[in-house]
Structure 1
Amino acid sequence: MNILLVVPRLNIGGAETYVVTTAIALQQLGFTVSVASGGGMLAKHLSERGIKHYFVPIRFNTSFAAYLLERIIRKNNIQIVHANSAAAGIAAVKVKQRVNAAVVYTAHGVFGHNAQEMTLNQCDKIICVSEFVRNYAMEKGFAADKLVTAYSGIDLDKFKPDKKKAVVIRKNLGIPEDAFTISIVSRIKNLRNKGHSDILKVLEHYSGAQNWHLMVIGKGKGLWKLKYHIWKNKLSNRVHCLGHMANVQEVLDGADVMVLPSNFETFGLVLAEAMAMEKPVVTYAVGGTPEVIDHERTGFLVEKNNLAELYHRLCMLADNKKLRLIMGQQGRKWVENHFDSKEMINKLVDIYQRVGR
């Protein structure tokens, strides 16, 4: 079976990580896999593994993207096109009628907001990354028999804690060995979407957080504003911007806790990644996040925009190393039982075989 995975770009992000994990796993199972995207740091990572990458500017114009996808599909006798964004799905649907290939769409976000997105109902199967997304799609009028929930999986061989690294990571960043350290991993579109502003407010305004440190992993057009805010509020010695990292597991050992006070998440892959690294997680209870963590066992769900509660939960973890250890161990087991990439790939292969022509 020849499979083409399509995603707008290959930088840091949930959909991008999903595509890379899927491509590598399918290749290991013996499938012929290629990827089409607008490029990014992870494209080189795939090429180094012998996975062909095609440059297709998905978001530039879906009709032009469909034209390029058709050429790739015909040239490589592609049987399954697996789209990973609404734009990619729309382009794949446009070409579907002209080629003998099935279209699978993984909805990493909510969809069905306009006439173009409603054409995604023409996909052979729509994979939802959470029950929240599936229920949202049904409310929008998508066919229930085309919708299936399949949680994003974590490569547990890749995301494996190594506590010996913590000392080295902290030394390199200038973080005291005994300082309570939080991490946040996300694309930085602005300071609101993923909650960077909220965690900075906690560091600035709560007296108990005056010695805490924060590791910021990710980049985006909001990074300059973040750095200015850090400088203006004299947080430079406690907030460490690491930029974009393709392998975030290389630095997560240096943190005690992962925080993600987002305005909205359909799943929150970084939460599962942190739990796989035996880190407790603290996140706002929005969208699909209640499906990712086991509240009060692997981390804490906090009411959206409730800074006092966010601080309280972080304080509980800052003041109790044993609690962090127990929650971290329970988090690892939770991911092993619910978000193993092997289980995700098994579900994908089953879907491919059902819709394949």
Structure 2
Amino acid sequence: MQQRKLKVGVICYPSLGGSGVVATELGLKMADRGHEMHYITSSKPFRFLDAHPNIQFHEVTIEGYAVFKYPPYDIALANRIAQVIESESLDVLHVHYAVPHAISAVLAKDMANSSIGIITTLHGTDVTILGHDPALKNTLSYGINKSDRVTAVSRSLRNETIELLNPITPIETIYNFIDEEKYYPHEATHIREELGIMPDERVIIHISNFRKVKRIPDIIESFRRVDKRLKAKLLLVGEGPELFDLQEFVNEQGLQDDILFTGKRDDLPALLSSSDVMLLLSEKEAFGLVLLEAFACGVPAVATAIGGIPEVVDDGRNGFLVALGDVQAVADRVTQLLTDSELHGKMKKHAIETVIHDFSSDQIVLQYEALYYEVAAMRR
């Protein structure tokens, strides 16, 4: 017998970060499957440029009151969630990040006098940073333990959460995924022409929000050490708090002609398809969604063997893993990839296969859908 379609409340950051991408891609896939998805956020999630008949947006507005030093977003969010639970007769809440979103969802559930189930997805920093903060550790535990189901985007993050917090609620690993209809090898000659990259130059790419945790100076130093016989360019794609210092550093090193800061771009599949190697040298990374995006476009990676990265990068098959901070090893592996066309071709093939076989959106969306039905049935 066919199961009825669900009404799902989604609470996430409407941003370009990995959690925002996954939350919106999942919502679009669920909406395509006939479920009603209700996004309760401070602004419209960035992917919802075109209206979908099964997606609704409920804005959280924050009033300024003199008594508050800072606007109480978590309280305003809880109030809006409670309103939507009642007005839309939601079946389940899916919140991305335990703090503050799970806390707001728990409060909203109580405010609405509802038995609605709460699924919390942990994406990384809510555990890897807040879990080590004595002022927030108990709050994080509370949000997790008050959830009916908890998922983590990698086994590494799941294990770290259990070790740090010893939660009551079991944690299930459900991996991230990407939109395969968007990320695939594109013809990208125009990108190279736009950026002034010569036909005989190889391209190394890094995409992030330029925070210290991404260790972009390691990327720059690794690039500087890549075999000088190679003609290569490094693309640094994105923006963030480290941007100005990184630009100054590149100028000081005299690398401004070979390291290109592209800013934020909407054409990531084309940028990736014009590249030969992806670098991700972070010191913390719960999953590394950008690795999947690169793999889908046929770009092998050199990445640090930390967090959830080894669950995505199969060392020697679709890329190489290196120790944190070992810039010479990075340079050696990049040089190896850029000088051995047979090796690069095999890794390119295996990178695409990784996305298809291990991180298919179809199989991961079905895992979430089964979880939605389970929690909705539990609480009905």
TM-score (norm 1): 0.91
Aligned to 2:67: none
- Aligned 1:1-357 pairs, distance under 5 A: 1-8=6-13, 10-39=14-43, 42=46, 44-45=48-49, 47-50=50-53, 51-56=55-60, 61-86=73-98, 87-97=100-110, 98-109=113-124, 111=127, 112-113=131-132, 114-119=137-142, 120-143=144-167, 146-162=170-186, 164-165=187-188, 167-189=189-211, 192-205=212-225, 208=228, 211-356=231-376, 357=380
Structure 1 residue 226 displacement after superposition: 2.2
- The one-letter code matched in structure 1 to 2:11 is V
State the aligned residue count.
351
Aligned to 2:3: none
The structure-2 alpha-carbon separation of the partners of 1:48 and 1:177, relative to structure 1 and needing over 3 Å to count, comes to farther
Structure 1 residue 322 displacement after superposition: 2.3
Comparing 232-241 and 304-313, the one that deviates more: 232-241
Give unpaired runs (5+ residues) of structure 1: none
Q: Equivalents in 1 of 2:251, 2:45: separation in Å?
A: 28
SS at structure 2 position matched to 1:242? strand
Is contact 2:315-2:321 (8 Å) kept?
Answer: yes
**CA offset digits 1:114-168 (Å, max 9, x no partner):** 1111112110110111111111122234447621111111222221112x32x22
SS at structure 2 position matched to 1:148? strand
Q: Equivalents in 2 of 1:78, 1:246: separation in Å?
A: 33
Is contact 2:123-2:153 (8 Å) kept?
Answer: yes
The structure-2 alpha-carbon separation of the partners of 1:209 and 1:217, relative to structure 1 and needing over 3 Å to count, comes to farther
SS at structure 2 position matched to 1:308? helix
The structure-2 alpha-carbon separation of the partners of 1:41 and 1:208, relative to structure 1 and needing over 3 Å to count, comes to farther
Structure 1 residue 228 displacement after superposition: 2.6
The structure-2 alpha-carbon separation of the partners of 1:100 and 1:250, relative to structure 1 and needing over 3 Å to count, comes to farther
Greater CA radius of gyration, 1 or 2? 2
Structure 1 residue 181 displacement after superposition: 0.7
Q: Equivalents in 2 of 1:145, 1:118: separation in Å?
A: 10
The structure-2 alpha-carbon separation of the partners of 1:275 and 1:121, relative to structure 1 and needing over 3 Å to count, comes to same
Structure 1 residue 77 displacement after superposition: 1.7
Q: Equivalents in 2 of 1:228, 1:307: separation in Å?
A: 20
Is contact 1:42-1:246 (8 Å) kept?
Answer: no
Structure 1 residue 233 displacement after superposition: 2.8
Q: CA RMSD in A?
A: 2.2
Q: Equivalents in 1 of 2:351, 2:302: separation in Å?
A: 12
**CA offset digits 1:146-195 (Å, max 9, x no partner):** 21111111222221112x32x22111111112212111111113xx3112
Comparing 93-102 and 12-21, the one that deviates more: 93-102
Is contact 1:153-1:339 (8 Å) kept?
Answer: yes
The structure-2 alpha-carbon separation of the partners of 1:145 and 1:64, relative to structure 1 and needing over 3 Å to count, comes to closer
Q: Equivalents in 2 of 1:277, 1:20: separation in Å?
A: 21
Is contact 1:299-1:327 (8 Å) kept?
Answer: yes
The structure-2 alpha-carbon separation of the partners of 1:275 and 1:209, relative to structure 1 and needing over 3 Å to count, comes to farther
Q: Equivalents in 2 of 1:67, 1:209: separation in Å?
A: 61
Q: Equivalents in 2 of 1:204, 1:307: separation in Å?
A: 10
Is contact 2:185-2:296 (8 Å) kept?
Answer: yes
Q: Equivalents in 2 of 1:52, 1:234: separation in Å?
A: 50
TM-score (norm 2): 0.86
Q: Equivalents in 2 of 1:70, 1:230: separation in Å?
A: 50
Q: Equivalents in 2 of 1:258, 1:12: separation in Å?
A: 19
SS at structure 1 position matched to 2:39? strand
Comparing 278-287 and 216-225, the one that deviates more: 216-225
Q: Equivalents in 2 of 1:340, 1:227: separation in Å?
A: 37
